C-alpha cells in the first residue's frame, strides 16, 4: 500500500511540473530510505503487537514456535 502512495506522490509532482529527472539524486534516495524505514518500523510494531497482545487472545496452538510466543518463552 505504501508503494502505491509513493507512486501517487510521484505522479502529483509530475502534474505540478516538477519532473522526476529534475529532482536531485539525494532527495530521491532520502525519499526511498524514508519509505523503507517507515515500512520496517510498521512491520516491527505489528510483530511486537502480535507477540505482546494478540497471541494471548488466540487459542493454544500445537506449533512449538507459536506456543512459545503465546507463553512468553
**Would you list the DSSP string of 5-25?**
HHHHHHHHHHHTT--GGGS-H
Is the pLDDT reported for residue 29 higher than 70? Answer: yes
In angstroms, how far is CA 36 from the centroid of its own chain? Answer: 7
- Domain that includes residue 27, residue range: 2-70
Give percent of the chain with pLDDT exceeding 70: 64
User: Rounded CA gap, 60 and 34, in Å?
Assistant: 38
Give percent of the chain with pLDDT exceeding 90: 29
**SS3 for 44?**
helix
Q: Which of residues 17 and 33 earns the better pLDDT score?
A: 33
pTM for the structure as a whole: 0.55
Q: Give the cell for residue 72.
A: 512468553
User: Rounded CA gap, 23 and 17, in Å?
Assistant: 11
Q: Please state the domain count of the chain.
A: 1
Please give the backbone phi and psi of residue 68, each rounded to the nearest 5 degrees, phi first. Answer: -65, -40
Amino acid at each position: 500500500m505504501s508503494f502505491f502512495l509513493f507512486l501517487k506522490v510521484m505522479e502529483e509532482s509530475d502534474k505540478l511540473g516538477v519532473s522526476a529527472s529534475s529532482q536531485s539524486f539525494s532527495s530521491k534516495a532520502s525519499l526511498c530510505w524514508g519509505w523503507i524505514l517507515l515500512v520496517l518500523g510498521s512491520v516491527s510494531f505489528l510483530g511486537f503487537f502480535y507477540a505482546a497482545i494478540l497471541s494471548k487472545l488466540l487459542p493454544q496452538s500445537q506449533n512449538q514456535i507459536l506456543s512459545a510466543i503465546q507463553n512468553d518463552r
